Structures are given as structure tokens and as C-alpha cells.
Amino acid sequence: MNKWKFLRIALITCVAVSSLFTSLEPKANPAINLSALGVIFVFTILALLFVVGMQVVNPLSAKVWHMPDWNHNPFSFKDPIQFFHLAAYIMLVQGAVVLFRGLFSILRKHSPARYRGWGTNWNQACYASF
């Protein structure tokens, strides 16, 4: 296995494992509404296009970039698209792990099976949860 492929897999695995221990509670106070989320989304796309577009005048950047490949150095200044490829996979894995954790916590929280076998009545458990 190529050392760069191993490094990418190791980084993605570390992010996935650390996402298992991330708090699922929202950090923003007050919570972010949909309009703010839309502004953040649009700004992020524009900022990414600006950063990639600035590579045209960057003297360290190569004239021709390689297609993203797991076997190339993701930290090369000559080929920055490799870094964005790695960053996209890291964000994708982190989002997927947190999404599945959130779904499983909701299912586990509202499942009647969690009250069976503990000597509690289902109606009492429902009443106590509100």
C-alpha cells in the first residue's frame, strides 16, 4: 500500500473514531436557522471557488493538476486539489458518523424495547419521560 493512501485512510479513520465521541447537542446558542444555514452554504461554495481560482496566480501551483488520487501527496502545494479531495472525504465521513449516531440515539430514545426487562411499566416509563 502506498504511504499516501495509508495516511489518507488513517486520517479518515481517526476522524470517524473521534466523531463517535462528539457531543450531539447543538453548540450554537440560539440554534442556527435555515436562512443562516443557506447563507453559510452559499458562502462556503463561493469561498472554495475563490481559493481554487486563486491557484491560477499562485507561483507554487503546477500548471496542470492531477485528478484526485488516493496515491498522491495530499499536502503538496503544487497540486492543491489533492488536499481538497482529502478534506471532502474527511467531512463526508464525519457527517455520516454523526448522522448515524443521531438517528440511532433517536431510535433508542423512543424505543419501547429499552424499558423491557427492567421491571418498569411501559406507561409509567412514557409518563416519566415527559
Please check whether residue 117 lies inside any domain of the structure: no
Phi-psi region of 73 (alpha: psi -120 to 50; beta: other; left: phi over 0): beta
SS3 content of the chain, % helix, strand, coil (to 5): 60, 0, 40
Please check whether residue 76 lies inside any domain of the structure: yes
Please check whether residue 21 lies inside any domain of the structure: no
Please check whether residue 75 lies inside any domain of the structure: yes
95 lies in which domain range?
3-16+61-110
Please check whether residue 12 lies inside any domain of the structure: yes
Per-residue pLDDT tens digits of the chain, which is 130 residues long: 899 999 999 999 999 999 999 888 877 777 788 999 999 999 999 998 998 888 888 888 888 888 999 999 999 888 888 999 999 999 999 999 999 999 988 887 776 655 555 555 555 555 454 4
Which is nearest to 15 in space by CA: 27, 7, 25? 7
Report d(CA 120, CA 130) in Å as an integer.
16
Based on the structure, what is the number of domains in the chain? 1
Please check whether residue 33 lies inside any domain of the structure: no
Please check whether residue 48 lies inside any domain of the structure: no
